[in-house]
Amino acid sequence: MALVNLIGLMDHARRNKYGVGAFNVPDYETFQAILDTAVAKQSPVIIDVAEVHLKYIDLDDVAYVVKRAAERAPVPVALHLDHGEHFETIIRAVRAGFSSIMFDGSHLPFEENVRQTAEIVRICHACGVSVEAELGQVLGGEGTSERFEADPSVFTDPDEAVEFCARTNIDLLAISFGTAHGLYRGTPKLDFDRLDAIATRTKKPVVLHGGTGVSDEDFRKAVSLGITKINYYTQTSVTAVEATREILAANPDLVSYPLLLQQTREAIKKVLAHQMDVFGSAGICARFPDICIECDACTVPNVSLDGVADTGGHAYQHAPASAPADRSDKLTDDDVQTLIDAVTRAVLKGLNDA
Ligand code: 13P
């Protein structure tokens, strides 16, 4: 099937109380490990490509590979831009065929975060691309040996969250409630009351960033209170590096690079399989076979960058026909004009040379 965006999938996850792992892909081995595990576990999956990882992996190339793989995968696959901070990167991702993006304006003052997020939402929705945004700040840094902890002074405020969702029309809200990116200093203490208030009052699918180091028990509780997307990366990287060290120590004569990668991939798959069990996404495709059926009910036309609707049959599919669609499936003249303006601006800023 074609890539799915996150609107229907997250709605399904919210109604059925499971979380979907959004696993970062800075390289193709990790991607293969993630997809293999999702298929083996009959789990929907989100392939997260972080803007900061574009120094390791090419945006257009990874989009091409993931789209092709998703077409053949028997589970729903979303391709999501993680922590998109620059307008140009987001437009490039939409153009490359990402089905979902995150705009991270969490460092901006509230009003500016609202303004920029709303603009991105308008453009992305016109293209059938779902949008996640962050309010409050999840601190830390992924993939390093440094240790971090959450800072309650930048936790998400529930009142602001309600206003933010209403004024931006986002599809998913990333919040700060005790997690941090990367390795933790000490044990993370999650503010479940805050999560509960935000999920209940905004009625939006809520995203947990900084999954590495959160206990199984805390993940289960977070999912029961409304977390539907769980971002998870650092432990995947740590596992791959540690496995590589062990394999080379045990086999000093090894010179086969693909054999090394294959064994490393197996180590990553074990970690991911465990997380899919804990998040509750394992077995979802068997329990709900219609989750991935092409239903047309909530199809959004894919739009090429010159603003012309592409009727070539590439439609993002999401939840079953009964799932409520959050927005119109028709492009207005304004939507098309917004898209044209956006692309023109991106091109003028030297997009192709970026
Ligand atoms: P961890 O690296 O802490 O698992 O967090 C990943 C993440 O939140 C990506 O956005």
- Under 8 Å between Cβ of 198 and 156: yes
pLDDT bucket at 315, cuts 50 / 70 / 90: very low
Please report whether residue 271 resides in a domain: yes
Is residue 19 in some structural domain?
yes
Residue 341 lies in a domain: no
- Contact status, residue 78 vs residue 47, Cβ threshold 8 Å: yes
Task: Report DSSP state, residue 99.
Answer: S
Does the CB atom of residue 82 touch ligand 1 within 6 A? yes
Is the CB of residue 210 below 6 angstroms from any atom belonging to ligand 1? yes
Atom of ligand 1 lying closest to residue 182 CA: 3
Contact 88, 351 (CB under 8 A): yes
pLDDT in tens, 64-120: 999 999 999 999 999 999 999 999 999 999 999 999 999 999 999 999 999 999 999
Q: Is 50 exceeded by the pLDDT of residue 229?
A: yes
Residue 310 lies in a domain: no
Quick check: is 82 catalytic? yes
- How much distance in Å is there from the Cα of 29 to the middle of ligand 1? 18
Answer whether residue 349 is part of any domain. Answer: no
| Dist. CA 53–CA 291, nearest whole Å | 30
Ligand 1 pocket, 233 CB below 6 A? yes
Nearest atom within ligand 1 for CA of residue 183: 3
Whether residue 345 is contained in a domain is answered as no
Q: Which domain holds residue 50?
A: 10-291
Give 306 Cα–ligand 1 centroid separation in angstroms.
35
Residues 212/107/173/327 CA torsion (nearest 10 deg): -140
Q: What is the CATH number of the domain that holds 126?
A: 3.20.20.70
Determine what percent of the chain falls in helix, strand and coil, rounding each to the nearest 5.
50, 15, 35
Tokens standing for 18?
A: 């499971």
Closest residue CA from atom 5 of ligand 1: 210
User: What are residue 100's phi and psi, to 5 degrees?
Assistant: -160, 150
What is the value of pTM for the model shown? Answer: 0.84
138 lies in a domain? yes
DSSP calls for 67-95 = HHHHHH-SS-EEEEEEEE-SHHHHHHHHH
Does the beta carbon of 21 lie inside 6 Å of ligand 1?
no
| Residue 142: predicted pLDDT | 79
Q: Is the CB of 229 under 6 A from ligand 1?
A: no
Number of structural domains in the chain: 1
103 C-beta closer than 6 A to ligand 1: no
Within-domain flag for 322: no
Q: Give residue 181 CA to ligand 1 midpoint distance, Å.
A: 5
**Cα–Cα distance measured from residue 264 to residue 272, given in angstroms and rounded to the nearest whole number:** 13
Tell me how far apart the alpha carbons of residues 256 and 348 are, in angstroms, rounded to a whole number. 46
* Cα four-point dihedral sign 68, 94, 50, 271: negative
- Rounded to the nearest angstrom, the gap between the alpha carbon of residue 52 and the centroid of all alpha carbons in its chain is 14
Contact (CB, 8 A) for 212 and 179: no
pLDDT at 290: 79
Residue closest via CA to ligand 1's atom 1 equals: 210
Cα end-to-end distance, the chain, whole Å = 31
Helices 216-224 and 257-279 pack at an angle, to 10 degrees, of 50
How far, in Å, is the centroid of ligand 1 from the Cα of 179?
A: 9
Q: Which of 82, 171, 191, 196 is catalytic?
A: 82
Q: Which residues pair with 77 in a beta bridge?
A: 45
29, pLDDT greater than 90: yes
* R_g of the chain, CA atoms, integer Å: 19
Ligand 1 centroid from CA 162, angstroms: 24
pLDDT in tens, 146-181: 999 999 999 999 999 999 999 999 999 999 999 999
